[in-house]
Amino acid sequence: MHVMIMAGGSGTRFWPLSRRATPKQLLRLFGDRTMIAETVARFDGLAEPEHTLIITSDHLVDAIHRELSLPKANIIGEPSARNTAAPVGLAAIVAAARSANPEEIVCVFPADHYIRDTQGFQDAVRAAAERARRGAIVTLGVRPTQPETGYGYIEAGDESDGFFSVRSFREKPDAASARAYLNAGGFFWNAGMFFFRADVMLAEIRRQLPLLGTALDTLNHIADDPTSDAILFTQTWATLESISIDYGVMEGAGQVEVLPVDFGWSDVGHWDALPGVAETDEAGNHISGDVTAIDCGTSVIYNQSDRVLATLGVEGMVVVQTQDATLVAPRARSQEIRRIVDALSKRSDKDGLT
């Protein structure tokens, strides 16, 4: 079995801690290890390092290589961002070529998600991979615990041996729809984790995205190490359609199934999500680094600098200080931090700050 970890994050959502050069997958949000190192470690005993592939942005390859004990050829830098269908197709041809097995199982995972229960996760991976071996494309569907509007949903249909057919993929809903999904049952959060046989995925791509299928064919003879021919890889990559695997393949695929899971998952999409999954004090603060906090509550307070950070009476805020920048915002608005990054990235005197 091959594991393909999608590590293309751009580094805006956890600004100022995350930057273009150190996006979320390279942050240590939960202890000593980076998110991507934790993601790889989560497969201990399930997949060998030589069968673990990373697809990331070109400029992050070296940083990720330093972080992980993986062969350099397993870390594939995208010359340009092409959404998720193209990387998934690439994973399929690489896995098939390296294993010399067209029916090799591939599991696709995001590099920067939080999972509380590793044992539960591994059990789900084993079951889903086994199911995929029989020809299904299998997704993991996280059982929703609140009417979350920040995730896409998977609508389940008929059940068979604990797996459900997928009736539809739903975009991030409005609040009313999210409540309806939760009340109805049978809707699961789309965590971007799925399992397939290489040949099954490639057949679906050729059928639904024929241009991508053809492009992958031109890379087939270098599939063992796609970046070994940088010119061919870059030229081919530049022609690819930028489309998501959900929209481009999964929605129209023949046999797609969802396995409901409950292993304590979060995509940790922004600062506001941290207190829900990381350690908090008795007042609900998630505090990291040397912080002088008096009478603060339900706040995220980070000091990653050698300077003093002092907060008094701060409630429901995000306060993050790094060596060169400080952010202050209400937690409820942490999804808008991109506006800060956009404003700073337009300033020529702020190179490296975004």
What is d(CA 332, CA 309) in angstroms, rounded to the nearest whole number?
A: 21
H/E stretch holding 261 reads strand 256-261
What is d(CA 163, CA 140) in angstroms, rounded to the nearest whole number?
A: 10
CA-based R_g, the chain, Å: 21
Residues forming contacts to a copy of itself in the complex (CB under 8 A) are 16, 292, 294-295, 307-314, 317, 319, 321, 323-330, 332-333, 336-337, 339-340, 343-344, 350, 353
**Smallest gap from residue 27 Cβ to a copy of itself (A):** 18
> At 279, is the secondary structure helix, strand, or coil?
coil
Pick between residue 107 and residue 318 the one whose CB is nearest to a copy of itself.
318
- Hey, what are 153's tokens? 């949903």
- Residue of 109, 114, 111 whose CA lies nearest to 57: 111
Pick between residue 209 and residue 317 the one whose CB is nearest to a copy of itself.
317
Pick between residue 63 and residue 296 the one whose CB is nearest to a copy of itself.
296
Q: What single letter denotes the amino acid at residue 213?
A: G
**Smallest gap from residue 276 Cβ to a copy of itself (A):** 20
User: Which residues face 129 on adjacent strands?
Assistant: none
Pick between residue 21 and residue 230 the one whose CB is nearest to a copy of itself.
21
**Smallest gap from residue 10 Cβ to a copy of itself (A):** 17
> At 123, is the secondary structure helix, strand, or coil?
helix
Q: Are 233 and 72 contacting, i.e. CB atoms less than 8 angstroms apart?
A: no
**Smallest gap from residue 301 Cβ to a copy of itself (A):** 8
**Smallest gap from residue 317 Cβ to a copy of itself (A):** 7
**Smallest gap from residue 142 Cβ to a copy of itself (A):** 29
Sheet holding 286-288, edge to edge: 286-288, 300-304, 317-322
Pick between residue 150 and residue 316 the one whose CB is nearest to a copy of itself.
316
Pick between residue 256 and residue 300 the one whose CB is nearest to a copy of itself.
300
